[in-house]
Structure 1
Amino acid sequence: MNVSTSTTKDRPAPAAAPAEAAPSAGAGPAARRGRALLLAPVAVLVLAALAALHVSQGTAAVGPGTLWHALGSALTGGDPVDQADAVLLSSRLPRLAAGLVVGCALGAAGAALQSVSRNVLASPDTLAVNAGAYLAVVAVAAFGITLPALPAGGTAFVGGLLAAGIVLGLSRAGAGPIRLVLAGSALTLALSGLSQLLLILREQQTSGLYAWGNGSLGQIGMETIDRMAPVALTGLVGLVLLGKRLDILALGDDGAAVVGVSPRLTRGVAVVLAVLLAAVAVTVAGPVGFVGLCAPAVVRLAGNWAPVLLRHRVLIPAASVAGMIVVLGADILLRALFGAQAGTAVPTGIVTSLFGALLLVVLAHRSRDAGSAGPTTAFARLRSRRAYVVTLVVAGTALAGAVVAAVLLGDTRLLLGDVGYWITGRSGDLVSFVLDTRVPRVAAALLAGAALAVAGAVVQAVSRNPLAEPGILGVVGGAGVGAVTVLTVIPLAGFWLIGGAALAGAGAAAALVFGLAARRGLEQNRLVLIGIGVSAGTGALVSLLIVLTDPHNGTKALTWLSGSTYGRTLPEVVPVLVALVVALPLLAVFRRELDLIGLDADTPRLLGIRPGTMRLGLLTVAVVLTATSVAAVGVIGFVGLVAPHAARALVGQRHARVLPVSALLGALLVVVADAIGRTVIAPGQIPVGIVTAVIGAPYFGWLLWRSKGES
């Protein structure tokens, strides 16, 4: 029988193959089976030891011996020990059970998603499943609806399934498996922005959901566990029964079709079961980060020593056990580091997210890129000077109109005459108060938008990566860690101290991302994935800082992290203005170098340019622009992605034209987003960063779709 392989020749290698495809050198089948049999009791013993240690930790002064006596009494019906019974049955056993259920569900879900996507970087986190499930739960809570465990799980399942469907559908546009993670990360940013919006606007209805949104194992009784454990068991058994088909699917779609296995049906069932397991985890403990990435990675690593672990009927249960070990280990480490009381308040998901972010960076650093680094001008066309002048005039006029509208609109509507009286000092008290607070906000939005857009254009040129921007590459996250550290530790810190901390954090994040990526060449997808990992790590650190502080500072930091111009004064935007005044002429001088560095690695050297030194200098400019804007208005994403791409589409690829148009478009985007946020639900307000995230995420997806030919 002749079987065509034209549809699979360009596919990436599967994430996992059956054991027979990768036998260990020098080891026979009996030896490999013996290794697997040895690993099983070791894993069980480790899990049992962690469970024993986990149940002995807590805030109540109850010794381990008393606890074990209480457990024995509960199991055998012996004489109870009142205090120990209360601690054990109402707190510690439910927390332990939650860790076991969550770890089991996420480990199995991650293994399944990696197999069906043929992507070792896939997990419920990187594919936006957790973000979709969490948004669905938060949306229900925001409207004051309290659901029992099973309906809440169903809500999370629907949200996660919709998110997974969007990501999987979008990723079909790209040939490389890394595109799947990029699409999921973009959608995660948008969904997280919407969740933050609901948390801020419906603070009373969603009280406690921020900490829960980082993955908290704290439980009150066993009711939720009793309802969701059977659902998790159903999903786990379903994936195990599907294991043989997943083994066959790993050999390729055509090969699977020949033996009667439908690739589409198998993938669909596996995704539904994986999303079901992720929904169980979110319902029990919130989105516990990156367990679905770490646990299968550990098992696949062990599979190099015992290849039978790569068979899905073994891989799925093994990943479940590894997930339980990861979650319990993280929770034990958390309470050991911060103490029993603080460890109860800090979500376990923060620790797993830190480990997962580190693993994502390592996997991205070791991965083979789907394509080499290329110019940032993939979608740009040559434009005439007339088109450039027209674009400048139109963009400048639109920005001027947006600034006027932003000054006039808000919870109090004003007229141009009011502004005229304010300028001449003849306005009334109300108008003076409104404009004294509103004008600095508009100025902050304008300058921060321009700074982020210029920084994005520079980063894309330096990295030769059309998907790069300060937010996605972790630079904004690094600035956020520095600024939030000062905000939470020194609540009355001045603006200059906050700005200095933001600059230090942004510089450290940029050095880490570009330093790791440069070791194997600044290839497009690897750079972005390392940046996503660093962003996840900085996000976990920020969440840790927020949770450990008092509620007042936590609310302030959460609002600031969503990007807000609220309460800004003119002196606070002066550093952004100074950075732009210095950076724009400097970049204009080096516009030729920007063009050449954005082309390839060899051309600059042939023309006498030292690429390393030039990249470092240009990146320093981008970091300063990013840090000053973050210090002024908080974290605003996607501006550095949207504005430069739109500029190149309008005026071509030359940076002499791209930079000024990017600045105008970035300023226009943030000014309009800020005006929308201040107006649509006045007197309530939507943080500007959430508006730009909702706009930028679809644009990012469109870029992935358009760039399918580059992978």
Structure 2
Amino acid sequence: MESMIHQAERRKRSRGLLVIVIFIVLIIAAFIVSMNTGFIRLSPMDVMRTLFGQGTDQQHLILFEFRLPRIVISILIGAGLAVSGCVMQGLSRNALADPGILGVNAGAGLMVMLYVSFFSSTVSGSVFLLPVLALIGAGATAVLIYALSYKKGEGLVPTRMLLVGIGVAAGISAAMIVLTLRLNPEEYQFVASWLAGRIWGTSWKFVVALLPWLILFLPFVFYKAKVMNVLNMGDQTATGLGTAIERERLLLLAAAVGLAGACVAVSGGIGFVGLIGPHLGRRLVGPKHQILLPVSALAGALLVLVADTLGRWILQPTDIPTGVVVAVIGAPYFLYLLAKTKV
């Protein structure tokens, strides 16, 4: 019996490693296609020559200053948002939890808009400040949702958390619309692009601004994978196993909010990544977070990279915001999950 359990565990581990390898191969393929996609087309040979320093000045500018930073940003925010969604689904034990649906993204966006509206006409000089502001907005929203969802004697109620999050997101979105009335045309154009989910941080300085937050929070979440498995067993079981439930829940929630806030500050209002990535990972490798978290990160990275590439390719020379492409995929999937979930 014990040997059969070990064999089953080895098969699951092997399957998980295979899924990770497949996702990495797909991301590399999408990476290569994305480097060749744009208004000014670069052939694969042009890309290879430019990567090895043999391209023209124009090709070097297009590849290294425009496309590569955007591709790297797409991968980073996809991974960050997917892991954030995976943590929120695990903590709330609700399949519909997602930083966008729960209003965390909206809270981060509100702080960015307040800064643009009252303190700065441009954001070019505020690259490193925006993730901090977005983190504050996302954190305040998460605290509000947590406080309104918590019920004495029952703890965090998943259904209440989802409904409160949707209500808070709606309220914040209304406030953001009101704020747009005082913006000048330049500020309004930025905010409109942000709300649509256009990846506006497309230079290396945005990569540098985002990377430290991911380096801080992602390893912490992966380290807490076993704790998340215990929390999924229920509060009574987790307490019996010696887990400090509320402390661990708050730490993980803070990490999820930090990931979402930092990514939203650079990517704009891209939703559904934190919903689709974890769900796809769970279907492929099961609920164990040791393998689910990295698979979710890779799935989210692939989703955003493909969506951004499609957005740049479909209506050239006009870009479709990445958030719109993701929403075309994510909204029907969300309705499907909503129909399948017993609320």
Would you say same fold, with TM above 0.5? Answer: yes
Q: TM-score, normalised by structure 2?
A: 0.92
Equivalent in 171, 186, 193 of residue 537 of structure 1 = 171
Closer/same/farther in 2, CA of residues 631 and 439 from structure 1, 3 Å limit? same
> Helix, strand or coil for the counterpart of 1:468?
coil
> Helix, strand or coil for the counterpart of 1:384?
helix
Q: 1:589 deviation in Å?
A: 2.0
Indicate whether 1:661 and 2:295 are aligned.
yes
* Equivalent in the alignment of 2:122: 492
| Cα deviation digits, residues 489-538 of structure 1 (max 9, x gap) | 21234112222211110000000001110135322221111001110111
| Cα deviation digits, residues 110-150 of structure 1 (max 9, x gap) | xxxxxxxxxxxxxxxxxxxxxxxxxxxxxxxxxxxxxxxxx
> Helix, strand or coil for the counterpart of 1:409?
coil
> Helix, strand or coil for the counterpart of 1:467?
coil
Matches of 1:485 and 1:498 in 2, distance apart? 11
Indicate whether 1:442 and 2:71 are aligned.
yes
Equivalent in 188, 195, 200 of residue 561 of structure 1 = 195
Closer/same/farther in 2, CA of residues 408 and 477 from structure 1, 3 Å limit? same
* Equivalent in the alignment of 1:397: 25
Matches of 1:553 and 1:584 in 2, distance apart? 32
Matches of 2:130 and 2:214 in 1, distance apart? 19
* Equivalent in the alignment of 2:235: 601
Structure-to-structure mapping, 1:116-265, within 5 angstroms: none
* Equivalent in the alignment of 2:306: 672
- Greater relative contact order (Cα < 8 A, sep 6+): 2
Equivalent in 90, 102, 108 of residue 473 of structure 1 = 102
Matches of 1:659 and 1:673 in 2, distance apart? 21
Equivalent in 249, 256, 280 of residue 615 of structure 1 = 249
Equivalent in 492, 502, 506 of residue 138 of structure 2 = 506
Q: 1:567 deviation in Å?
A: 5.3
Matches of 2:317 and 2:23 in 1, distance apart? 30
Equivalent in 552, 565, 583 of residue 186 of structure 2 = 552
* Equivalent in the alignment of 2:3: none
* Equivalent in the alignment of 2:4: none
Indicate whether 1:574 and 2:202 are aligned.
no
Matches of 1:411 and 1:609 in 2, distance apart? 54
Equivalent in 390, 411, 417 of residue 45 of structure 2 = 417
Q: 1:462 deviation in Å?
A: 1.2
Q: 1:598 deviation in Å?
A: 2.1
Unmatched 5+ stretches in structure 1: 1-381
Q: 1:464 deviation in Å?
A: 1.4
RMSD: 1.7
* Equivalent in the alignment of 1:591: 225
Unmatched 5+ stretches in structure 2: 1-8
Structure with bigger gyration radius: 1
Equivalent in 6, 14, 34 of residue 406 of structure 1 = 34
Matches of 1:566 and 1:508 in 2, distance apart? 24
Asked if 1 retains the 8 angstrom alpha-carbon contact of 2:74 and 2:301, the reply is yes
Whichever residue aligns with residue 184 of structure 2, its letter is D
> Helix, strand or coil for the counterpart of 2:18?
helix
Q: TM-score, normalised by structure 1?
A: 0.45
Whichever residue aligns with residue 275 of structure 2, its letter is L
Asked if 2 retains the 8 angstrom alpha-carbon contact of 1:564 and 1:689, the reply is yes
Asked if 2 retains the 8 angstrom alpha-carbon contact of 1:460 and 1:466, the reply is yes
Tell me how many residue pairs correspond in the alignment: 329
Asked if 2 retains the 8 angstrom alpha-carbon contact of 1:454 and 1:663, the reply is yes
Structure-to-structure mapping, 1:249-398, within 5 angstroms: 384-398=12-26
Matches of 2:203 and 2:272 in 1, distance apart? 24
* Equivalent in the alignment of 1:525: 159
| Cα deviation digits, residues 266-317 of structure 1 (max 9, x gap) | xxxxxxxxxxxxxxxxxxxxxxxxxxxxxxxxxxxxxxxxxxxxxxxxxxxx
| Cα deviation digits, residues 619-672 of structure 1 (max 9, x gap) | 111111111101111111000000001100000110001000000000000000
Asked if 2 retains the 8 angstrom alpha-carbon contact of 1:446 and 1:667, the reply is yes
Whichever residue aligns with residue 386 of structure 1, its letter is S
